Amino acid sequence: MDFVCPHPSCSKDFANASGLSRHKREVHPELVRNYTSSTASVTSDESSQLRNVRSRPPQEKRSRTICAECNAELHQQKDLLQHLKEVHQRSDIEIQIGHFNSTQGFDKWLSDVERKNTVRFVTDTGAAKTKQDWSRKYYYCSRSHSSDRQGTGRRAERVSIKSSYRCSSFVSAKFFEDGHVETKFCLQHSGHDIEPAKLPLDVEARELIASYIRDNQTNQWINDKLNKLYEDANDRNFFINRKDIANVRQKYQLHPGRLHEDDMQSVEEWIRRDRAAPDSNEWENFFAYRRASDPSGI
What is the per-residue DSSP string for 1-64?
--EE---TTT--EESSHHHHHHHHHHH-GGGEEEEE-SS-EEEEETGGGSGGG----TTS-TT-
Dihedral (CA of 192, 193, 198, 201) sign: positive
The arithmetic mean of pLDDT across residues 113-118, rounded, is: 85
pLDDT value, residue 269: 75
The percentage of residues in the chain with a pLDDT greater than 70, rounded to a whole number, is: 69
pLDDT value, residue 257: 65
On the 0-12 / 13-18 / 19+ scale of CB atoms within 10 A, 145 is: buried
Distance, CA of 245 to CA of 225 (rounded, Å): 12
Kindly indicate whether the domain formed by 96-146+162-194 is annotated with CATH number 3.40.50.
no
pLDDT value, residue 60: 42
pLDDT value, residue 285: 54
pLDDT tens, 137-190?
999 998 886 545 444 544 444 445 566 788 999 999 999 999 999 999 999 999
pLDDT value, residue 66: 86
pTM for this one?
A: 0.54
The arithmetic mean of pLDDT across residues 203-221, rounded, is: 91
pLDDT over threshold 70, residue 62: no
Q: How far apart are the first and last CA of the chain?
A: 51
Do residues 287 and 275 make contact, with C-beta atoms less than 8 angstroms apart?
no
The arithmetic mean of pLDDT across residues 263-271, rounded, is: 74
Residue 73 phi, psi dihedral angles, 5° rounding: -90, 130
Tell which residue, 109, 103, 144, 108, has the closest CA to residue 127.
103
Domains of the chain, by residue range, sit at 3-87, 96-146+162-194, 203-251, 262-298
pLDDT value, residue 83: 94
Distance, CA of 95 to CA of 278 (rounded, Å): 68
Radius of gyration from C-alpha coordinates of the chain: 27
**pLDDT-based confidence at residue 65 (cuts at 50, 70, 90):** confident
pLDDT value, residue 93: 93
Q: Which residues, other chains included, contact 123 with Cβ-Cβ below 8 Å and sequence gap of 6+?
A: 137, 138, 139, 140
Distance, CA of 96 to CA of 107 (rounded, Å): 17
**pLDDT-based confidence at residue 196 (cuts at 50, 70, 90):** confident
pLDDT value, residue 51: 36
Do residues 14 and 2 make contact, with C-beta atoms less than 8 angstroms apart?
yes
Amino acid at 182: E
Q: What is the DSSP string of 209-233?
A: HHHHHHTT--HHHHHHHHHHH---T
Do residues 83 and 74 make contact, with C-beta atoms less than 8 angstroms apart?
yes
Do residues 242 and 223 make contact, with C-beta atoms less than 8 angstroms apart?
yes
pLDDT value, residue 188: 93
pLDDT value, residue 268: 77
Higher confidence at residue 233 or residue 96? 96
pLDDT tens, 3-14?
677 777 777 776
Angle between the N-to-C axes of helices 219-229 and 203-214, in degrees from 0 to 180, rounded to the nearest 10: 140
pLDDT over threshold 50, residue 107: yes
Across the chain, how many H-helices and E-strands are there?
A: 7, 12
Residue 98 phi, psi dihedral angles, 5° rounding: -135, 150
